[in-house]
Amino acid sequence: MSRVPGWLGRLGNGLSEMGERLDERRAEVEKEHSDAGPELPAAAPEPPEPVPVPVPIDRDRPEPALAVPWGVRVAAEAGWRLLILAGTVWVLMRVISAVQLVVLAFAAALLITALLQPTVAALIRYGFPRGVATALTAILGFVVMGLIGWFVTWQVMANIDNLSDQVQNGVDDLRNWLLKGPFHVTEKQINQIAKNLREAIGANTDQITSAGLEGVQVIVEALTGILLTVFSTLFLLYDGPRIWQWTLKLVPAAARPAMAGAGPRAWRTLTAYVRGTVIVALIDAICIGIGIYFLGVPMAVPLAVFIFLFSFIPLVGAVASGALAVVVALVTQGVVVALFTLGVVLAVQQIEGHILQPFILGRAVRVHPLAVVLSVAAGGMIAGIGGAVVAVPLVAVTNTVVSYLKAYAQGTEPAPRLSPKPRGATAVEHPPSDQTP
């Protein structure tokens, strides 16, 4: 019993020492805080992030692309493609306008080649070398065309004095008719009209002089175009097949078989058009020339040649040449002969439109009259008379090519094999001979 109080005493002393140490440590910590400054309040805790409230989704709302009507989407798809095509055509027209002389010369060479190429082929079949056949055909063709131009010029120069006198007499007769006719025109009014015409001519003397100076440039361009046409015709007649084979190499390999089949058909269409137009124009010129000759119209032969040349411009050329013949008849022979001349011109043109063209040209180059009028108008606006001449054969050839390519895409028209066989990057794999390409 005497030992228990001693143990408890030692435990009490140890606890007392531990308490003193804790008090000293607490005093040291408080002293450090007092030296560091006033105690800052504790930072407020950050507010919790707001929880996003889910928005209800309308499951019945379509996609934006599906909300656009189908017709509008189709129109938009077609619209931007049409804009690209229009831009391409515009750039092409700008390029053609920049080299208009070269384009028209080459187009004229193609037309002349289409007219003369059958003669070259016939001479080759008879055993002539290709160079000799080309030279003979070209010389004969250009000589004939030169003789036609010389004959027209000679006839006009030979009859110009007589025509001037007849025109003056016709003007006097027209003046007397106006004075005595039902319109009650006075001589003072006629003199005033003549005075106004003289003043207009005098006021535009500078423009007339500049037009005469520009005529020199026109002559130079015409001679340049004639030379380009002659050289292009010679090379097309002599080396046409090789030029065509080289042209095919510019076409992508996948489209080459189709173009190889469309090319000969386009050439046959162009040849048929040129030969048919020449025959129809010749018949028109002969018939109208004979008619106005028996009616006593002066310069009947030059007028017939003009009718022949103007017939190469469809519709518009026939109207212009017929109007020229009627005007000459009016100012030289009077109203009655002019009416008879108009009847002859209309009768021949009706026979041409309903009999000659369908029979001679056939279905190969049949083009709707609306397409003819629009193409002639567009060609005339772009390149003048040359564009009007080239417009219709271009439309006919394009129609043939598009029809063939459409049939080829449907598998109803096979394309011929390419000859000679290309090599390298231009090679095209052909199926065996017992298969349709």
Q: In this predicted structure, what is the pLDDT of residue 431?
A: 40
User: Which residue positions in the chain have pLDDT lower than 50?
Assistant: 1-2, 39-40, 42-43, 211-213, 420-437
Measured CA to CA in angstroms, residue 166 lies from 128, 221, 268, 394 at distances of: 53, 35, 47, 42
382-390 CB contacts, 8 Å cutoff, 24+ apart: 382/93, 382/96, 382/97, 383/96, 383/100, 383/103, 383/104, 385/313, 386/104, 386/107, 386/108, 387/104, 388/313, 388/316, 388/317, 389/111, 389/312, 389/313, 390/104, 390/107, 390/108, 390/111
Distance in angstroms (rounded) separating the CA atoms of residues 175 and 436: 76
Q: In this predicted structure, what is the pLDDT of residue 364?
A: 55
Q: In this predicted structure, what is the pLDDT of residue 195?
A: 66
**Residue 284 Rama label (left phi>0; alpha psi -120 to 50; beta):** alpha
Q: In this predicted structure, what is the pLDDT of residue 84?
A: 93
Q: In this predicted structure, what is the pLDDT of residue 421?
A: 46
Buried residues in 141-171 as b, exposed as e (16+ CB within 10 A): bbeeeeeeeeebeebeeebeeebeebeeebe
Q: In this predicted structure, what is the pLDDT of residue 8?
A: 62
